[in-house]
Amino acid sequence: MISGGPGTGKTTLGLHFLAAGSDSPALLISMGEAERNIRSDAAAIGLDLDHVKAIDLSPGAQASSGAAYTLLEPWEAEPTDIRARVDEIFPHGPPARVFIDALSQYRHLVPDAFQFRKQVMSLLEYLTRSGSTVLYTAELGSAADEDLQYLGDGILRLDWAPTGRTLSVVKFRGSAFAEGRHTVRLTGRGMQVFERLVPSDHTQAFRSVPLPSGVPELDTLTGGGLERGTVTVISGPTGVGKSTLGVQFMREAARRDERSVVFSFEEKLATLRHRCEQIGIPLTELIASDSLAVEEVEALQYTPDEFAWKVRVEVEDRGARMVMLDSLAGFRQSIQGDDVARHVHALCRYLSNMGVTVLLINEVGTIAGGELRVSDYGISYLADAVLLLRYLELDGELRKTIGVLKKRTGDFEKTLREFEITSTGLRVGEPLHGLRGVLRGVPEMAGESDGR
């Protein structure tokens, strides 16, 4: 049974079911919409129903079938023996796939609820005993809906919410199923379902080794690099070089023949390309050789399920080993629905399980001053490592620093180093001693402003 409110995609789902079995005849029993409308709807979304025979019991077809019984209830004029019509069309028994749309409408063709149950049960039993797989729709909340729920071996529920369409499996006899609400899209090509991401369903064996950045001083700072299959937050104010630093790790990954993907929520590819090429990271070349993909994501383009599906395609079909979300704030704006932290968490857990290294770009609001905020979105607890980029005012000059705030696996250096973006690449200097106030966001040389 497919249950759902008006326009939720019940008919569309049934049409996919019919079209998927084009190697043998199938049957459509239409009770609400006229057969020709259903066929033209199917053609509009590119589904071929040439192999499908139809029994049209829609109100229009009934009226034009001869007898003028407008003053009589339909069942008084002509009791509909569906089984006889099936046998007529399929003398050797019913076909493998049968779609009845909407079976709840049949309630109007029989005198009472008892007759309805009896006839529907007998029809379904006849069809299933003959080996047919039957999909029937019911309008949510209709009088017949409740009766029909008990007749199906499985119930698929379609819903429409402000955040988008969903499908959930209510019951599915004799089998496990993916629980929860899954995102549904209806487009010019019909229905697409994006399964909810359950991180623990996905694992892959991998060796946890540190992945270097290719900048020796930076690798010293991080104790050898970022551990494979961990989540690193790169945190810093605007323009300090967070994305560039992320891409640097990806360039090094490309040298190991590992593919990376950047999901860019705020920045255009052209901007990122320009910035990288200016400092000697050959983004165009990396993209051309398919070592790196940059996907621009528009605001409110995806639901969390859909985005997770995109990430899964990159990881499972295209072998991505490093994924960067740039930035968390952008992710929050682009992904519909609330509870962003939960979705980031699920996504990161999935990626970690698959041995994919994750870089989360986190922009902190203040350029200088203010307290330390690693992340505004309650996700710092899922970070295995935090790289902190900060501006530093030194003798009236604006400089940049980099430090490791935390790293769960392995050792790291607890000092800050100067960080520079030069025309020949990222440069990280020797440890800076004697700095203080870094965690307040206003680093200064100790002793300089002591009023001496």
Ligand X SMILES: Nc1ncnc2c1ncn2[C@@H]1O[C@H](COP(=O)(O)OP(=O)(O)OP(=O)(O)O)[C@@H](O)[C@H]1O
Cβ proximity to ligand X, 158 vs 250, nearer residue = 158
- Say which DSSP state 256 is in: T
Q: Does 243 bind Mg ion (CB under 5 A)?
A: no
Cβ proximity to ligand X, 165 vs 273, nearer residue = 165
Cβ proximity to ligand X, 70 vs 187, nearer residue = 187
In the window 24-83, what residues touch ligand X (CB under 6 A)? none
- Structure-token match 């040439």, residue found: 50
Q: Does 162 bind ligand X (CB under 6 A)?
A: no
Q: Which of 284, 262, 265 is nearest to 275 (CA)?
A: 284
Which of residues 3, 11, 58, 336 is near Mg ion by CB under 5 A?
A: 11
The least CB distance from residue 166 to Mg ion, in Å, is 17
Which of residues 9, 229, 236, 443 is near ligand X by CB under 6 A?
A: 9
- Say which DSSP state 438 is in: G
- The answer to whether 214 and 252 have CB atoms below 8 angstroms apart is yes
The least CB distance from residue 10 to ligand X, in Å, is 3
The least CB distance from residue 30 to ligand X, in Å, is 11
Which of residues 1, 3, 4, 42 is near ligand X by CB under 6 A?
A: 4
Q: Which of 132, 173, 131, 174 is nearest to 156 (CA)?
A: 173
Instruction: Give residue number: closest CB to Mg ion.
Output: 11
Q: Which of 56, 271, 358, 308 is nearest to 197 (CA)?
A: 308
In the window 171-200, what residues touch ligand X (CB under 6 A)? 186-188
- Give the integer Cα–Cα distance in Å for 221 and 233: 15
Q: Phi and psi at residue 6, in whole multiples of 5°?
A: -60, 135
Q: Which stretch binds Mg ion (CB under 5 A): 3-11, 19-27, 55-63, 255-263?
A: 3-11
- The answer to whether 165 and 9 have CB atoms below 8 angstroms apart is yes
The least CB distance from residue 12 to Mg ion, in Å, is 8
Q: Which helix (H) or strand (E) holds 186?
A: strand 181-187
166 interacts with, out of Mg ion, ligand X, none, CB within 5 to 8 A per kind = none
12 interacts with, out of ligand X, Mg ion, none, CB within 5 to 8 A per kind = ligand X
Q: Which helix (H) or strand (E) holds 232?
A: strand 231-236
Residue 354 tokens read as 């698959």
Q: Does 30 bind Mg ion (CB under 5 A)?
A: no
97 forms beta bridges with 26, 133
The least CB distance from residue 414 to ligand X, in Å, is 55
Contact flags string 324-363 toward ligand X, x per CB under 6 A: ----------------------------------------
Q: Does 7 bind ligand X (CB under 6 A)?
A: yes
Q: Which of 253, 233, 174, 212 is nearest to 360 (CA)?
A: 233
Q: Which helix (H) or strand (E) holds 60?
A: helix 59-63
Q: Which helix (H) or strand (E) holds 148?
A: helix 145-149
Give me the residues that bind ligand X (CB under 6 A), please: 4, 6-12, 186-188
Give me the residues that bind Mg ion (CB under 5 A), please: 11
